[in-house]
Amino acid sequence: MTNLASDALLALTNVNSFYGQAQVHFDLSISVPRGHIVCLLGGNASGKSTTMKIILGLVKPRSGEVTFDGASLIGLTTPQIVRRGIASVPEARRLFADMSVRENILMGAFVRNDREAIAQDLDKMLTLFPKLGQRLSQRAGSLSGGEQQMVAMARALMSRPRMIVMDEPTMGLSPLYVDRVLELIRTINQEGVSVFMVEQNASLALEIAHEAYVLQTGKIVLSGPARALKDDPRIRDAYLGGSEAA
Amino acid sequence: MSSWLDYTINGLIVGNVYALVAVGLALIFGVSRLINFAQGSIYLVGAYIGWVAVVQLHTPLPVTIIVVAVASALVGLIIERFGLRPLQNSVRIAPLLATIGISFVLDQLVMLTVSPNPRALPSQLPDIRFQIGGGTIGPLDLLIAGVGLASALLLFVFLRYSKLGWAVRATAQDRDAAMQMGVDVNRVNQAVFGIAAALGGVSGLLVGMYYNQIDTAMSLQATLKGVVAEVVGGAGNVPGAVIGSLLLGLVESYGVAVFGTSYRNLFAFLLLVVVLVLRPNGLFASARQAPPEPLTGTFIAPSRPVRIPRWALLVAAGLFAVLPFFPVSFYVLQTLINAWLLGMLALSLTLVAGTIGQVSLGHAALLAIGAYTSALLSLTFSAPVGLAIIGGGLMSAALGTALISPSFRLRGHYVSIATLAIGEIVSLVILNWESVTRGPIGISGIPPLSLFGYELISPISIYWFSFIVMVVLALLQGRLLGSHLGRSFRAIRDDDVAARAYGLSLNRYKSLAFIFGGFAAGVSGGIAAHLYSYINHETFNTQQSILALTVVILGGLGNVVGAILGAVALVGLPEVFRIAAEYRILIYGIVLLLLVRFRPQGLLGTI
């Protein structure tokens, strides 16, 4: 674990966070090694989404450290964190519904000023997500859930991030799109972008992740290489094999 | 003004002016979900800067417009940076109240530095009229239309093609997501306030030239008209605000053509109430737009109320009761009588705004209804004054509740706008319903207070009378809050959806709160009418509504003792320090601002 942390791109160390009186995280420690896909699993109200918000600076932890590429993120505003190289695919996509698909994707490049390279990247997105080509001038709010997920991913990639954090990227998608999204996450990762994703769907997430953590009511109860966790009886009971046991 | 074409042109020109204000309001609402009640004050500031430029510095017209735009934008930036940004993480009511405080402060500063008297703001264009069709049009009309169109075009280009414009649109649609794209929302807020203020200031300048007169009453009027236009167009919808403004201008102009000038505002506010009740998202909102956000629950600052032991209250009440036996001056008694009357109004408002969470900005209307009813009962039907006052209270309870009831389905900011509009409508009906209210002349010769045939003329007897009435009302309200009814009220305030899920009928409980509150306010108005012996449609105005709200917030929303303490503090302290009347409103504004910033739960805490 220690040698992992030293090579980590993103590291959360002993984070404690609260909503008012209620404690959300208890000494949470997570590290995302460079170039890896790391997945945070957990049920409802386990604190998954709050973990995302802490990384993005939307929620301030009461204690603990969050570092990205060795530098602390604590005290930075969300835009500052984004400029450090972290892009996000928020829960339920959160597109700008009344802006066009093109405008949504270009909003992802908000922190960049290199017009020509941005235009090239937009073309690149259209080869990566060919379906969006015909949709460019459509209102983003009028797309289907799966198409919106594509836009959200393209939007995140447009900032040329070193890391993407994703909150339940497969939620509410049809099985066809779920496979497509997972494949895309793998592709993105192979191009050198580290991925930290939060998921409820353990079997799918463990399919593509290198490492995984299991969060239960704010505490990490299990962690390790994804391959090992897939066979772990505790995971099988909790997430995968629940029906078999019954 | 003769032909329909003239009225149409006039309506469109006035609509253009409203649009400049309303577009700013829409931009601000879009980005920060805030109705900026200081928008009219910026408009006022713009008009006076224009006056200084034209009359004192003799600037040519293009320079005047640029000077006004830039100076107003600066005022907007200052408001955003120092008035609103510190409140970003406060309760939702805080920024709204802060803009009200800021508008008081700005209006009074203009009044104190320039003069409360109207000033002439000459148009810098030749006074000629061209004939078109059956009507006429002048260079100033064309200028206003031109500025309106040019601003709309510039704004369109800004929002569509500039990076900051994209940031504004993205922030308006999803603030958190925009931040995650790296948008600095503080800069967006700044930009929006700067633009809104520049447009508002230029609008003030143009209106001043159009009517060749500016005065400080313009401020509230402009805010109200801008809010009407914005809500009609759909809050936060920029093109909607333009169309809403033109519609408002036309409705007013045709209304004036048919009924006369004094009906102008009545049509504006009726349009607002109708739109609020029937289409709260505006005329152009499609079904996909989210309903007005639920603001209840987060609207009131939560706190632990300060416990005051019963004996301390008894001692305080006893001291005030025996006060007239001590050698106090007539002046002190007079001041305290005013405090007791304001206390009754505050009791009413603290119940409605605090306990059940309907932040009313038109509470003075309840005073007016009570006052007119009581005055007319005693004058026309020679009813005994004591009974007439009770009649005034009952009428306020009934009529006030009936007027507000169509708006019961509204929430948060929208309740405040609806009550503000209803307050204005009551005052305008009083102005125009001459056969009953005697219109602009007002009612004079109202008989003095009397009880069982004994006239209460001495200050001491009036003091006791008003004190006892207030204490009785306060005790009743205290009982009410302790009962299951009080709990139901607070449940509706804290979460109306949950309250409804538990079987509470929102309409019934809101009605009960307004009936009780309307009675207390009506009694206060009734007593005031017999005390003043003369009232007119301006005796009970929006300024009093806002003062009452400041009192209530000072004491702690929902807090009965706090309401009375607040009334004594805000009426008494200026007297103690012998502060000149023209500085008082300024002080109320500053008190409101400081409270919102540093102690939103008030002195004694919300209950």
Given B488, B509, B541, the domain boundary residue is B541
ipTM greater than 0.85:
yes
C-alpha distance from B182 to closest chain A C-alpha (Å): 4
Whether residues B267 and B372 share a domain: the answer is no
- In the beta sheet, which residues pair with residue B444? B534
Give the domain extent around B397. Answer: 328-541
When comparing pLDDT for A200 and B378, which is higher? B378
Q: Do A94 and B163 touch (CB under 8 A)?
A: no
Does the CB of B284 have a partner CB in chain A at under 8 Å?
no
B394 phi/psi in degrees, rounded to 5: -65, -40
Residue of B nearest to A84 (CA): B182
> Within a domain: residue B230?
yes
pLDDT band at A85 (very low <50, low <70, confident <90, very high): very high
- Mean per-residue pLDDT for B40-63? 92
The domain that contains B82 carries what CATH number? 1.10.3470
Given B541, B573, B597, the domain boundary residue is B541
Q: Does residue B131 sit in helix, strand or coil? A: strand
Number of domains chain B is built from: 2
Task: From B395, B344, B354, select the one nearest B521 (Cα to Cα).
Answer: B344
Q: Do B182 and A110 touch (CB under 8 A)?
A: yes
Quote the DSSP letter at residue A8: E
Q: Does residue B414 sit in helix, strand or coil? A: helix
Whether residues B355 and B440 share a domain: the answer is yes
Q: Does residue B451 sit in helix, strand or coil? A: strand
Give the nearest partner residue to B181 out of A98, A110, A141, using CB atoms.
A110
Tell me which chain B residues have a C-beta less than 8 angstroms from the C-beta of A77: 179, 184
For residue A238, the model assigns a pLDDT of 66
Whether residue B219 is predicted with pLDDT greater than 50 in this model: the reply is yes
* Helix spans in B33-92 (H): 39-51, 61-78
pLDDT band at A14 (very low <50, low <70, confident <90, very high): very high
Whether residue A242 is predicted with pLDDT greater than 80 in this model: the reply is no
Query: Residue B504's CB: how many other CB atoms inside 10 A?
Result: 17
pLDDT band at B561 (very low <50, low <70, confident <90, very high): very high
Angle at the Cα of B371 from the Cα atoms of B462 and B414, rounded to 5 degrees: 125
Contact assessment for residue B584 and residue B551, using Cβ atoms and an 8 Å cutoff: no
Whether residues B412 and B528 share a domain: the answer is yes
Give the nearest partner residue to A110 out of B167, B173, B176, using CB atoms.
B167
C-alpha distance from B169 to closest chain A C-alpha (Å): 8
Parallel, antiparallel, or unpaired: how do β-strands B450-451 and B443-444 relate?
unpaired
For residue B1, the model assigns a pLDDT of 46
A129 burial (CB, 10 Å; 0-12 / 13-18 / 19+) is buried
pLDDT band at B457 (very low <50, low <70, confident <90, very high): confident
For residue A239, the model assigns a pLDDT of 63
Q: Does residue A173 sit in helix, strand or coil? A: coil
Query: Residue B541's CB: how many other CB atoms inside 10 A?
Result: 18
For residue B390, the model assigns a pLDDT of 95
CA separation for the pair A82, A76 (Å, rounded):
10
To the nearest whole percent, how much of chain B has pLDDT over 70? 97
Task: From B510, B215, B487, select the one nearest B359 (Cα to Cα).
Answer: B510
B81 burial (CB, 10 Å; 0-12 / 13-18 / 19+) is middle
For residue A240, the model assigns a pLDDT of 52
C-alpha distance from B79 to closest chain A C-alpha (Å): 23
Least confidently predicted of A237-246, B7-16, B114-123, B593-602:
A237-246
Which B positions 183-202 lie with beta carbon below 8 A of chain A? 183-184
Q: Does residue B237 sit in helix, strand or coil? A: coil
Q: Which residues contact B220 (CB under 8 A, 6 or more apart)?
A: B40, B103, B107, B542
> Within a domain: residue B477?
yes
Whether residues B189 and B265 share a domain: the answer is yes
Whether residues B38 and B149 share a domain: the answer is yes
pLDDT in tens, B512-531: 999 999 999 999 999 999 99
End-to-end alpha carbon distance in chain B: 56
> Within a domain: residue B488?
yes
Whether residues B334 and B469 share a domain: the answer is yes
Q: How many CA atoms are closer than 13 Å to the CA of B199, on its beta-carbon side?
A: 31
> Within a domain: residue B303?
no
- Mean per-residue pLDDT for A230-235? 80
pLDDT band at B423 (very low <50, low <70, confident <90, very high): very high
Query: Residue B555's CB: how many other CB atoms inside 10 A?
Result: 30
Whether residues B333 and B397 share a domain: the answer is yes
Query: Residue B312's CB: how many other CB atoms inside 10 A?
Result: 11
> Within a domain: residue B570?
no
Contact assessment for residue B59 and residue B67, using Cβ atoms and an 8 Å cutoff: yes
Q: Do A79 and B184 touch (CB under 8 A)?
A: yes
CA separation for the pair B155, A221 (Å, rounded):
54
> Residue B87 corresponds to which amino acid?
L
Tell me which chain B residues have a C-beta less than 8 angstroms from the C-beta of A108: 181
pLDDT band at B124 (very low <50, low <70, confident <90, very high): confident
Parallel, antiparallel, or unpaired: how do β-strands A37-41 and A194-199 relate?
parallel
CA separation for the pair A180, A153 (Å, rounded):
12
- Category of B573 on φ-ψ map: left (φ > 0), alpha (ψ -120 to 50) or beta: alpha
What token pair was written down for B137? 């049009």
> Within a domain: residue B308?
no
CA separation for the pair B367, B363 (Å, rounded):
7
pLDDT in tens, A211-231: 999 988 888 988 999 988 888
CA separation for the pair A169, A197 (Å, rounded):
8
When comparing pLDDT for B144 and B579, which is higher? B144
Whether residues B209 and B342 share a domain: the answer is no
Whether residues B396 and B487 share a domain: the answer is yes
For residue B136, the model assigns a pLDDT of 78
CA separation for the pair B600, B607 (Å, rounded):
13
Whether residues B339 and B260 share a domain: the answer is no
Given B522, B541, B560, the domain boundary residue is B541
For residue A244, the model assigns a pLDDT of 39
Q: Which of B121-130, B141-150, B338-347, B497-506 has the highest mean pLDDT?
A: B338-347
> Within a domain: residue B253?
yes
Residue showing tokens 């802006």: A99
Whether residues B214 and B341 share a domain: the answer is no
pLDDT band at B279 (very low <50, low <70, confident <90, very high): confident
Query: Average model confidence (pLDDT) for chain B?
Result: 88
Q: Which of A10-14, B94-98, B135-139, B171-175 has the highest mean pLDDT?
A: A10-14
> Within a domain: residue B430?
yes
HEC readout, B187-217: HHHHHHHHHHHHHHHHHHHHHHHHHCCECCC
Whether residues B162 and B273 share a domain: the answer is yes
Whether residue A32 is predicted with pLDDT greater than 70 in this model: the reply is yes
